[in-house]
Amino acid sequence: MSESTDCIFCMIVEGKLPSSKVYESEHVYAFLDLNPVHEGHTLIIPKKHCENIFEADPAIGADIIRAMQRVGEALKKVTGCAGVNVLQNNGRAAGQMVFHLHWHVIPRFANDGLALWPQKKYASMDAMNEMAEALRKELA
């Protein structure tokens, strides 16, 4: 079902590379990340190769959400985590290292010391409103 011959995640879906599978459905495969933020850190991927969210087929969205729910609930039960982050990187600048679309599902614990990203403020409310207006125009 996947198709890129030099993609490690396609090779995992096809069983040509080993993986610690946790879940599978019609369009989705999920397996443990080799380098977990916390143990249980799972990657959810579409079986059919696409590089990033912009190339994804929206028709598989429901299957992906279902996988996130199932894996997230299982992580809560198995690891005892109090919360779950779902993260997805697009492009090298955003931290993407493997160019087969994937979602990280990461168990989180109270006071586990992880800060995902520093946040800042807009220079003013006007600057914030200008940003929203530019995005609305683009999306209209």
How many residues in the shown chain lie near ligand 5GP by CB under 6 A? Answer: 13
- Which among 44-52, 92-100, 110-118, 121-129 is the span making contact with ligand 5GP, rule CB under 6 A? 92-100
For ligand 5GP, the binding residue among 4, 19, 52, 79 (CB under 6 A) is 19
Helix (H, G, I), strand (E, B) or coil at 92: helix
Residues in region 101-140 near ligand 5GP by CB under 6 A: none
- Choose one: 31-39, 56-64, 66-74, 109-117; the region binding ligand 5GP (CB under 6 A): 31-39
As measured in angstroms, the least distance from the Cβ of 11 to ligand 5GP is 8
Cα–Cα distance between 24 and 45 in angstroms, integer? 10
Kindly indicate which of the ranges 27-35, 78-86, 106-114, 116-124 contains the residues binding ligand 5GP, using the contact rule CB under 6 A.
Answer: 27-35
**Cβ(82)–Cβ(64) below 8 Å:** no
Task: Reduce the secondary structure of 45-114 to three states and give it as a string.
Answer: EECCCCCCHHHCCHHHHHHHHHHHHHHHHHHHHHHCCCEEEEECCCCHHHCCCCCCCCEEEEEECCCCCC
Looking at the Cβ atoms of 81 and 99, the one nearer to ligand 5GP is: 99
- Sequence letter at residue 51: E
Shortest approach of ligand 5GP to residue 70 CB, angstroms? Answer: 18
Query: CA dist 79 to 18, 25, 40, 74, Å?
Result: 23, 23, 7, 8
Please report whether residue 9 would count as binding Zn ion according to CB under 5 A: yes
- Name the site residues for Zn ion (rule: CB under 5 A): 4, 7, 9-10, 49, 100
